[in-house]
């Protein structure tokens, strides 16, 4: 346990998009470290379910704010809420993120804006807005979610990889500025199996390769929290993913792009609007899916 302060003075971990997927696992991992939890996620029943889950998993308080992060004024609402609840934020995890594969022109402009807003504007402006809070509660931590795709330009994933490259670059630069006060880390996971149909479809497309580089949400969260608390700047889960990044960087840009296009052209007709969550009635479980595919 990192934090052993009495409960009323306990420091808090604020996680965006923390009600499901990787975000929920981050929240659980921070709760196990003794931090109170503050989740900001879409206002739907899943939020209340996750709050219960966290409070049952560890003796911490879990606060939740239902908010659509694509809407104007989201950052201000988060900062007001932190003030009203008197939350002592020591950990900020910018986890919420959106991304669609498919032809660039197939994505409606409103979705394009949502991806850019949530992935880039929100994470950077939230770091800025919570800076006084993070400095006051130092030593503090920021963990920003990029992706392996944020380290290379991927055709048919252009907007997502562009925004995740922003997160990667922004985080490593801010890390130097805030050194000694706030440990800023950026995490670049490969594919992660969540309950989202898009992630499951992609795993199907890439077959063997996907099996090689994919992790479950709980594995990614555990690696992320350990790396963040150990003040690692760049966290890339799984050795094979680190090799892929290194190998790609050694190749001339034109060759790299040709390889990536060849791999991702399969997903050129993939764009479709889907809700973030798969109805639980369909009983899909990411961990079970990994096991099933490993058995094949
Ligand atoms: N899954 C992967 O393969 C993978 C790989 C590399 C990096 N990542 C990154 O890891 C992070 C989490 O991904 P994930 O796969 O767990 O999530 P996801 O299922 O793709 O959903 C995205 C996350 O963002 C939140 N979110 C989406 N739209 C929102 C909105 N309008 N307002 C508030 N919250 C919103 C969701 O929160 P709710 O809980 O409210 O739905 C969810 O936690 C993202 O930044 C993603 O880019 C994922």
CB atoms within 10 A of CB 149: 24
Is 245 a member of any domain? yes
Q: State the residue for tokens 């990889």.
A: 161
Does 1 map to a domain?
A: no
Locate 168 and state its tokens. 């990667």
Rounded Cα gap, residues 38 and 122, in angstroms: 16
**How many angstroms is it from 41 CA to the middle of ligand 1?**
10
Where does residue 111 rank: exposed (0-12), middle (13-18), buried (19+ CB within 10 A)?
middle
Tell which atom from ligand 1 comes closest to the C-alpha of 114. Answer: 31
- Give the Cα separation of 112 and 106 in Å (integer): 10
Query: Do 166 and 178 form a contact (C-beta atoms < 8 A)?
Result: no
Domain annotation covers residue 57: yes
Q: Is 224 in the pocket of ligand 1 (CB under 6 A)?
A: no
Alpha carbon of 290 to ligand 1 centroid (Å): 19
User: How many angstroms separate the first and last alpha carbons of the chain?
Assistant: 39
Q: Tell me whether residue 2 is in a domain.
A: no
- Assess whether the C-beta atom of 203 lies below 6 angstroms from ligand 1: no
What is the C-alpha separation between 270 and 202, in angstroms, rounded? 9
Q: State whether the beta carbon of 134 lies less than 6 angstroms from ligand 1.
A: no
Q: How far apart are CA 67 and CA 75, in angstroms?
A: 10
**Residue 58 belongs to a domain with what CATH number?**
3.40.50.720
Phi/psi at 272 (nearest 5 deg)?
A: -160, 150
Q: What is the pLDDT along the chain (296 residues), one digit of tens a residue?
A: 444 444 445 899 999 999 999 999 999 999 999 999 999 999 999 999 999 999 999 999 999 999 999 999 999 999 999 999 999 999 999 999 999 999 999 999 999 999 999 999 999 999 999 999 999 999 999 999 999 999 999 999 999 999 999 999 999 999 999 999 999 999 999 999 876 666 666 666 666 677 778 899 999 999 999 999 999 999 999 999 999 999 999 999 999 999 999 999 988 988 876 665 544 333 333 333 332 333 32
Residue 164 lies in a domain: yes
Q: Does 30 map to a domain? A: yes
What is the residue range of 31's domain? Answer: 7-295
The total number of structural domains in the chain stands at: 1
């Amino acid at each position: 346990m990192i934090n052993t302060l009495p409960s009323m003075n306990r420091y808090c971990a604020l996680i965006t998009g923390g009600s499901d997927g990787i975000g929920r696992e981050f929240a659980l991992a921070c709760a196990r470290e003794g931090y109170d939890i503050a989740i900001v996620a879409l206002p739907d029943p899943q939020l209340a379910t996750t709050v219960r889950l966290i409070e049952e998993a560890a003796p911490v308080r879990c606060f939740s704010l239902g908010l659509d992060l694509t809407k104007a004024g989201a950052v201000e609402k988060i900062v007001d809420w932190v003030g009203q609840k008197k939350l002592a934020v020591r950990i900020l995890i910018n986890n919420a993120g959106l991304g669609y594969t498919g032809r660039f022109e197939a994505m409606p402009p409103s979705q394009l804006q949502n991806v850019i807003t949530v992935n880039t504007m929100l994470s950077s402006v939230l770091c800025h807005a919570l800076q006084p809070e993070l400095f006051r509660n130092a030593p503090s931590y920021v963990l920003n979610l990029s992706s392996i795709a944020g380290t290379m330009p991927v055709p048919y994933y252009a907007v997502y990889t562009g925004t995740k490259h922003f997160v990667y670059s922004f985080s490593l630069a801010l890390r130097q500025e805030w050194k000694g006060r706030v440990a800023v880390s950026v995490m670049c996971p490969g594919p992660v199996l969540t309950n989202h149909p898009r992630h499951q479809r992609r795993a199907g497309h890439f077959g063997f390769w996907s099996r090689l580089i994919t992790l479950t949400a709980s594995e990614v969260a555990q690696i992320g929290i350990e790396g963040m608390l150990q003040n690692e700047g760049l966290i890339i889960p799984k050795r094979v993913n680190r090799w892929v990044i290194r190998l790609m960087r050694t190749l001339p840009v034109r060759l790299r792009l040709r390889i990536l296009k060849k791999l991702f052209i399969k997903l050129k007709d993939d764009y479709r609007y889907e809700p973030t969550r798969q109805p639980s009635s369909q009983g899909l479980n990411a961990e079970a899916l990994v096991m099933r595919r490993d058995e094949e």
